[in-house]
Structure 1
Amino acid sequence: MNTDRKQAMHVEAGKSFGTAEANENERRWNDDKIGRKNQDPTNHYDKSRMGLNFEIGSDGKIHSLGYQQKSLEVRLMDRLAELGWHPFKADSKIQPNCCAKFIFGGNHDRTLEMAFGTQTVNLDKGADNSHLQRCPEIEQWAKDVYDWCAKRYGQENIIGFQVHLDESSPHIHALIVPVGQRAKSGRECVMWSAKFGKSRYGYGHILREMHTSLYEEVGSKYGLERGDSIEGRHVSHLSKRDYIRKLTHEARQAEKAVKGLQSMIRSLEAQILNYKSQLDEVEEKLASGRITLDKYDARKADLLKLIAEYQTKLDDKAVKLQAKEQELEQMTKNIDRVGRVAQPFRNHKIDFEPPRITGKLPIFGVDKWIEEQNRSIASRFVKIVRQIEELYRKDAEQQVQAVQRNALVDYQELKRLQQENMRLTDLNENQTALMQEFLDQMAEPSVRERIFTIADALIGGQPVAVSSGGGGGNSGSDLRWDGRRPDEEEEVYRRRCLLYAKAIVIGNKKSSMKRRL
């Protein structure tokens, strides 16, 4: 029995929610569909336990799974329509997050105990568990999780809340719309950042708080400990190829963060060296009598203060860099481990008695006796060899099946990469056209001067007054500037400042032209 009795929570941002995913959550399947799903060795849907599944409806009460006439994806679209949500253009490669897909669970043995008590559960595929009855504890746990979600996100924004007891471990699927208020109008709208933060740093902070809150309000009541970081967990919900892609993306992000921190450290070290050089110059001036003692003391105090401040920043960045480098190293190991298709054969061990002669040599018929002993030894020896052969044959079959599955996935990956290549080619052509347009705009001296003025101000951390046509203030632009982001490289930050300045100036210019027309 696993004694690591932790709660589990996984949340994924959703840009869409399809019929197939909705049907799986609500088990809108027939027997043929279940059979086809179970052909995948990673799936385990027990038909004899499906009647025990349930969901909590919008009234906060327990109902049979799929009791609502409207399917899950239709209910989601209805709620999005109420909030006035509109996706980007259909051909846009980037779409906003419109929903959060939660999975709640916990320690395998503990959740089974909550669901079925002391009843015996046969987890083999095709086993008959029709004798099982659902225990009240799993229902109360689900209600408590539902109340926790309703408190954080609003009961009206919980689109679906399904509890599955027909798989290996009981768990909950919750589909939730993140809702926030617009700063200007105060109107409610779909807003991922309002509930999950505006950056990865903010998201990580909120996620840690969510684990703690879930433990304090729910998990602790059911003997479930606070969950660890969800990073790298719940990989069973992803295909192997998707999981490798996810790890690779995270490794690239970590690598960018490492480069950003290294760039910041170099910048801080250069600034500290500059201040120390200034300090040496001040001391030389004092020694040569070019400045008075009081001016020397004041300047020295200022420089020492600046050096101390930058040294503190440098130490902080160095600690973060070390942590990020360790994280990157672990990610690289995980990618290497998961990416292997063929695993080494196991060294099988078989307990057996070595063949030996047990009878006594007869006085007569020695040749016949020796022949019988040899036949008996050969039979036992062949039996042992056959056992070893069977074990390695099964290992070989599993290796072949793994290679075949991965070959199919590789082919699918090839097709995906071909499509991605076409998309990137189109994107490159669009970017070329945009770059040409930008160069044409930069050829106009007044526009160029205005763009560089705003960009320089942003890089220097100065406030920018944006006018529109002759007016003042910031009314001419609804763009938001969030300043320099954590771990952002200097070059990336300067480039973003320039693009932001270009968007403001060109946007205001187009607005002025429309008004004149």
Structure 2
Amino acid sequence: MSKSRNNIPRAAIHVGAPAKSFSAAEGYEPERRGWDENTYRLKNQDTNNHYDFSRKHLNFEINSQGEIVPLGSNPVPLHERLQKRLDELEFKPYMDKNNPLGISDNSPNCTVGIIVSGDHDVLTRLAFGDQDVDFTLQKSNANVVLKQGIKDWAMDTYRWACDRWGAENIIGFDVHLDETTPHIQIQTIPVAKTKARGRASAKYVHKDDKSKVISHKEWKKLPDEIRSYFIRTEDERREKESVSYASVWGKDKYAVGETYKQMHTDYYNEVGHKYGLERGDDIAMLPGEERRERVHKSKAVLEAERQAKDAIARNQMENERLEGQKEKMEGEVQDMKKQKIRLEEQNDKLEGEIQNKEQHKERLEGNISQLEDYAAALDIKEEDLIVPTLKTDPLVKNAWDAIKTELEKPIPAFGQKEWREERRKAIKVILTEMQTALMQAKEAQKGDILKLGKALYNKAMQNVRAIIEKNQQLQKENARLVEENSVLRKRIASMDENAITRLREKKDAEIKELQKRLDKAESEAVCSGNKAYLEHQRAESAENQVREMLAIPEIKEIWENIQQNKKAFLKQINRWIEDGVAAIRDYADGKDDDFQPKQGNSVAWGIVAEAFKYGLDPTDEKQRRMATAYLLERVSWTGMSDFKAGLTASRTRQLCDAMTVTKDLMANLLLAAGGRGSVGVGGGGSNGELTNWDGTKKRTGWGIGN
């Protein structure tokens, strides 16, 4: 299966083993009934548990009316609701004749627990959104608020469960948000409609008269010739609801498997696809390699594989870190080389710019000198612009033409003197007008020359001022470049030519050291992998040896006897726990100031049994107290005052402190737990007498004293 397919978020449905009943203590766990902060702490002593007390307020349940209410709101405990529904269905379990209070092993299964969950990221996003939630039990999550998404998912799952098993047959629908991944715990009763047991009642109806109906007994009393007139009919047996695990889940393991597959498919079609949860893959459809990965392995193999994977992961991370450092150092060396080249190029560029600026400065100084001379030369006066001569030809010609016209007039015979006087006056007027015109032309020419000179002067001075300002700016820029060049020269002069060489040698040494560490890490990874492989081979060899030994009939018989002894020991452990719980409850209901000897003995055995069940050492006082706490959790304090409950718990702890559990007793119990012996109550019911594996009797006693 591809890696991308493995990363697809999927729904998860776990169907627990069918049960014949469960105790009050077992029913308190899904409802968190009576759980306080101390209970959470005791539960978390088991490393497989991750209960978060600060998220307890987020838990909720869906009641029989389909309403979302806080978890534990139903005043009727789960085990009582189970019994009530079984009574409604008239279900009677098979009782053990040797134990009137116990249920027989062959009694029908009457309840099934189902856990519905899915991908951690999807469900936590539905429950908490973008809130910061701590799953390590290091910080408080009291301020976390529940989102609507998880409620919608739970309600859709509830409707799906009701359609599948019936709302009246779902006695518990609890949503837990105080563990690592949100999940739903459903407790159901398998109910199916079956026909009533017994024979169907027979009736006889007359052929001609349908109103005549008689019973089978009456029909037999009739003569043979009359019987033929009646027709036999049978009433169909009525259907009724009854507890039937086989009808709901399947009659054999193959049918149960098909039911599981169809249940997963239906859940995806009705609920899962709405929330991005794909259907899980069937194990039978997986490739061989992945199917083998899901097979249970021994703890030694799992631990070796885990250590090998951790070592490989650490080595890979170290390799990546070293490679990163190596690349970083190489990059730094390259950057320094580039920086040196860039500085040298910048220095050459600046020197070229300085030379250009100096040449430009020289050119500007020459231009300034020329401009000053030009400005001095442009100091024009008005008289220098007067034109010495004018073009008078047109004026003179016109005047001459006028004079000629006057002179061409004929001279009269008489009055010549007057004619001459008139001509003189006329010529004088012509000359006067010509002189006036010449003077006007001269004045006009003089004004034009003055205007032209002023314009040329102003323009020249503007150009000079612009050139002077530009020269001043260039001088400032030249001064700045000279200063920068001086600073750069100092920096270049201060640089040690051997600095880059020394840095390169230093980095090369560090790279060699990192390479050595990398080689060492790779070697350790190979060793870890070899060690894991050897452990795996050793585990497989041990399993093969066990199979070969079990192939021998005598050893197989011994092995089966050991397994039977183990089962018997586990039953005895459970019986001791039940007796201890009953003794504590009897004391709580009674008026005695302290436990009676028989009660104390039962409680002591119950404490030892709890210690065995949780892997604790009852010879150690601290671990024995933990076992006592587990035993007290099983006691139902319903209908009892807080004072009486506290007094009973205190007396139980005092009894625990007064107990003395010997090493010999523990050795005998360990033999029984391993199936190499049997432990039974002997000596007329005295719990202080044990039966060893070799058949001898051993008195132990508890050493209980006040």
TM-score for the superposition, normalised by structure 1: 0.49
- Which one has more relative contact order, counting CA pairs under 8 Å at least 6 apart? 1
Higher-Rg structure is 2
